Amino acid sequence: MGKKLIVLAAALFCIGTVNLFAWGIGAQLGGAISDHSGGNAAITFKLDDIPWVFAVDGSFGPNRFNIGVTADMWVINPNIVGPLNFYVGWGLFGGIGIYDSDVSFVAGGRVPIGLNAFFFNDFFEPYLQIAPGIGVHAGSDGVGLYWYIPINLGFRFWFK
């Protein structure tokens, strides 16, 4: 009985706090200039109360599969004109890639730079960003430097 009460209290707390903040969720498509080039698709989300923007992305191709995560903190996000804004920040990335029978891992830092806008009473946010990054790659070929420059076009729907 005690465990059920704790689970119920936690669930009610989560449901009760959902309306205390805004959150955005959407999708993005992109490509990258890198030492492992390819396109990707991602799910992106952001909570209004914290400055982090998150994404989980994947890419597929002949004999390859990649999945990655990013977490970006926008340092500035000034308004340019009308609904158009500019942002710059810093972030982290990590991922795993499977190529034929080889598995590799990457992790590092990145600098997101982009444009975003809000439309329809701040419900719809399209954006365009570039986020050059550098990090470490580890796989069967050893450990080495990894770099990439993703270019993404995406959108988020905001729920308040």
Q: Is the pLDDT of residue 117 over 70?
A: yes
1-10, 97-106, 138-147: least confident range: 1-10
Between 98 and 7, the more confident residue is 98
Question: Mind listing the pLDDT tens digit for each residue in 17-32?
Answer: 444 468 999 999 988 7
Q: Is 16 within a domain? A: no
Higher per-residue confidence, 3 vs 144: 144
Residues 70 and 57: beta-carbon distance below 8 Å: yes
Domain annotation covers residue 7: no
Task: Answer whether residue 29 is part of any domain.
Answer: yes
For residue 5, being part of any structural domain is answered with: no
**pLDDT tops 60 at residue 9:** no
CATH number, residue 70: 2.40.160.20
> How high does pLDDT run on average in the chain?
85
The pTM of this model reads 0.79
Task: List, in order, residues 6 or more apart from 150 with CB less than 8 Å away.
Answer: 30, 31, 32, 34, 40, 130, 131, 133
Does residue 129 lie in a domain region? yes
The reply to whether 131 falls in a domain is yes
The percentage of the chain sitting over the pLDDT mark of 90, rounded to a whole number, equals 58
- pLDDT per position as a tens digit, 37-84: 567 889 999 987 888 999 999 887 777 788 999 999 999 999 999 999
For the chain, how many structural domains are there in total? 1
CA distance 142 to 151: 27
Tell me the mean pLDDT in the region 96-124.
93
- Predicted confidence at residue 13, as pLDDT, reads 47
Is 85 within a domain? Answer: yes
The domain of 91 spans: 23-159
In this predicted structure, the answer to whether residue 14 has a pLDDT above a threshold of 60 is no
In a domain, 1, yes or no: no
